[in-house]
Amino acid sequence: MQAKHRRIMREQLDNTFAHLAKVKGLQPPVKGWLRSIRDALGMSGKQLGERMNVSQPRVVQLEKDEISGAVTLKTMRQAAEAMDCVFVYAVVPRASLEETIREQAHKVAEKRLSRTSHTMLLEDQQVSKKERNKMLEAKVDGLAREMPKGFWTEK
């Protein structure tokens, strides 16, 4: 995929994620979403099982699996539907995708510039701190724009 298309895709996703900012810190109830909603609806495990076409013991296991993280997305969707709910699934970045890329670009640029600076020091060709910062920012901009092969493997 071309860099331009990746940038547009990042912008679109970042706009979507802006709407999800409130849910980033959302923690599930102690009993899990399924059990909490089922209890709030006044629905027994047997009744939910009937609506899902599974046994009551399977509902108990499903609720335990949700808490432990062993439940499947498909099963969560089915249980949600059986309670007239919508199952929502998302991976929401901690920072914007653009910030994540610039952070990685900064790490890569700093590493590359450090190697160059060491060589220049050995050759007695050091640059000022101001010039180094300019070089670093230019390198970060270039790396973030181009995202060369190996961009995510460098640390």
Q: Do 78 and 109 share a domain, yes or no?
A: no
122 within domain boundaries: yes
138 within domain boundaries: yes
Q: Do 72 and 106 share a domain, yes or no?
A: no
Asked if the model's pLDDT at residue 75 lies above 80, the reply is yes
Work out the percent of the chain whose per-residue pLDDT is above 70.
92
Asked if the model's pLDDT at residue 126 lies above 90, the reply is no
Q: Do 69 and 103 share a domain, yes or no?
A: no
Q: Pick the closest to residue 14 from 92, 97, 88 (CA basis).
A: 97
Q: Do 102 and 76 share a domain, yes or no?
A: no
pLDDT greater at residue 88 or residue 128: 88
How far is residue 91 from each of residues 20, 77, 94, 122, 141, measured CA to CA in Å? 10, 16, 10, 47, 26
40 within domain boundaries: yes
Q: Do 66 and 30 share a domain, yes or no?
A: yes
Q: Do 31 and 78 share a domain, yes or no?
A: yes
49 within domain boundaries: yes
Number of Cβ atoms within 10 Å of the Cβ of 114: 11
Asked if the model's pLDDT at residue 120 lies above 60, the reply is no
Q: Which of 57, 82, 107 is the last residue of a domain?
A: 82
Are the beta carbons of 62 and 70 closer than 8 angstroms? no
Largest CA distance in the chain: 79
Alpha-carbon gap, residue 38 to 66, rounded angstroms: 13
Alpha-carbon gap, residue 80 to 45, rounded angstroms: 13
Q: Do 74 and 123 share a domain, yes or no?
A: no
Exposed e or buried b per residue across 23-61, where buried means at least 16 C-beta atoms within 10 angstroms of its C-beta: eeeeeeeeebbbbebbeeeebebebbbebbebeeebbee
Q: Do 77 and 32 share a domain, yes or no?
A: yes
Give the mean pLDDT of the chain: 90
Q: Do 43 and 76 share a domain, yes or no?
A: yes
Asked if the model's pLDDT at residue 87 lies above 70, the reply is yes
The whole domain housing 101 covers 97-146
